Amino acid sequence: MTAKTAFPPTFSPHALVRRVPGWGWQLVIALGIYAVVSHFILRAYENPDIRFRIDLAPYFAEPSAVQIHVIAALSAFFIGLVLLLAPKGFGLHRTLGWSWVLAMAVTATSSFFITGIMGDVYSPIHAISAWTLLGLPFGVAAARRRDIKKHRQQMTGMFLGAMVIAGLFTFLPGRLMWQIFFTA
């Protein structure tokens, strides 16, 4: 029988390192690319003064597809973090797992109503959305047939590959998330 743990679980960053070997390097590489691209964008704008503050006005000025996308993406990010860092046998895994699947599905689906990075056409990030929509049922199916190794691979791959990497690049200077938190 699986041991159940109380909520909130004891978080362990070490658990993440053990469960997803190599994730640290992926994150370091993504952060490096993010830093270089941000540097060039900011230089093109003659290095404006940057300070942290929260201004939700740009968020409310966006169309509803973007607003839904951001809420779903941030929900998926925080639920995913709890699922990944919680110890094995965490009691709320099933409930939070379904919430995460729903949040990811809404994030990916809503993105097909958003364009902008490449003008009016779909960008390569939409390929991540398609990959997510295809991957979610496979991840759920693996859990239902108790193939935990496959389930973990599918879900953590989507969390790190889609959520963390795509999410990080939404904070590039000039994009909406940047405007909310960092505009000078």
Please report, as ranges, the residues that interact with ligand HEM according to CB under 6 A.
66, 69-70, 73-74, 77, 107-108, 111, 114-118, 123, 125-126, 128-129, 132, 162-163, 166-167, 170, 175-177
From the CB of residue 73, how many other CB atoms can be counted at a distance below 10 Å?
Answer: 22
Give whichever of 75 and 153 is closer to ligand HEM, judged by the CB atom: 75
Give whichever of 86 and 162 is closer to ligand HEM, judged by the CB atom: 162
Exposed, middle or buried: residue 24 (CB in 10 Å: 0-12, 13-18, 19+)? exposed
Residue 33 CB, nearest approach to ligand HEM (Å): 16
What 8-state DSSP symbol labels residue 55? -
Residue sitting closest to ligand HEM (CB): 167
Residue 170 CB, nearest approach to ligand HEM (Å): 4
Residue 89 CB, nearest approach to ligand HEM (Å): 27
Q: Quote helix, strand, coil % in the chain, to nearest 5.
A: 65, 0, 35
Cα separations in angstroms, 85 against 43, 46, 105, 150 = 37, 40, 21, 18
Residue 38 CB, nearest approach to ligand HEM (Å): 14
Give whichever of 92 and 163 is closer to ligand HEM, judged by the CB atom: 163
What 8-state DSSP symbol labels residue 17? H
Give whichever of 86 and 103 is closer to ligand HEM, judged by the CB atom: 103
The CA distance from 20 to 164, in Å, is 13
Residue 132 CB, nearest approach to ligand HEM (Å): 4
Q: What SS3 class is residue 85?
A: helix
